[in-house]
Amino acid sequence: MRRHASAIAVHAILGLYTLLALFPIVLVVMNSFKAKRAIFNTPLRPPLPMNFDPVGYTKVFGDSSLPLYYLNSITVTVGTIFLTLLFGAMAAWALTEYKFRWNTLLALYLSVGIMVPIRLGSVAIIQLVAELNLINTLTALVLVYTAQNLPLAIFILSEFIAQIPRDLREAARCDGLSEYNIFFHIILPLIRPAMATVAVFTMIPVWNDLWFPLLLAPAGGKQTITLGVQQFLGQYITDWNAVLAALSTAIVPVLLLYVIFSRQLIRGLTSGAVK
């Protein structure tokens, strides 16, 4: 009886939190389908035939540069995820599997990266990127984001790799696999759930980031969607229909990516390996 009550309490709290978290998103999506007047007069009313107006969407899709910005955001996010996972898993594997001289020191150095926010180094990063002639390129963003996300990725993936039974790696060695093949054919498939977790963690801040696109790629058709939306926000006039429509559509790609990754979050992937 008591357990029942506490379960209800837990669900109530979680439900409340879900409502709270979803409210602004629902509000954005709802109002993106409404006429400008309706947005301001009745912001909480859902889109109905009388106040329905897809002007925001026609504007967003009519603007020739916005699809490009979407593509930029997707490129940057997917590129970052790919590099973070590849190098993160490789570094995690090396740090957990091989004993070499600077092993502990290197791990410690990387964990510093988790503690120090990368934005503190913005000025140095701008200088570096400028000297490399990478201003207004997506490469600059991908590199910075990869550097930003690697420490945590390595930290999480190391823990998972350490849990893979030693016998499995040794069986693979006896089977004649090279170290690269052990990594790609044994380790990577077995840490898929961890990689999906890291991918989700990595993707959201990268997709939403405004700071580095503003600093490193603010022009030249290399703007990301979060930056691109800013063109509808003026000092005196803001085109709310377009802003809300752009934000609503910006949810879709991350949502798709999330669905893809969350399908990898299968539990007990290593069950049956040993014992």
- Measured CA to CA, the distance from residue 77 to residue 209 in angstroms comes to 10
Q: Provide Rg for the chain, Cα atoms.
A: 23
- Contact positions vs other proteins (CB under 8 A): 165, 167-168, 170-178, 181, 186, 189-190, 268-275
| Residue (6 or 163) nearer to other proteins, CB | 163
For other proteins, the closer CB: 150 or 190: 190
Q: Could you tell me which residues come within 8 angstroms of residue 110 by beta carbon, excluding any fewer than 6 positions away?
A: 91, 95, 150, 151, 154, 155
CB atoms within 10 A of CB 5: 9
Cα separations (Å) of 132 from 65, 126, 223? Answer: 26, 10, 19
CB of 163 to other proteins, least distance (A): 12
**CA 56 to CA 67: how far, in whole Å?**
14
Long-range contacts of 93-99 (CB under 8 A, 24+ apart): 93/157, 93/161, 93/183, 93/187, 95/154, 95/158, 96/158, 96/161, 96/162, 97/161, 97/169
Q: Does residue 118 contact residue 124 with C-beta atoms inside 8 Å?
A: no
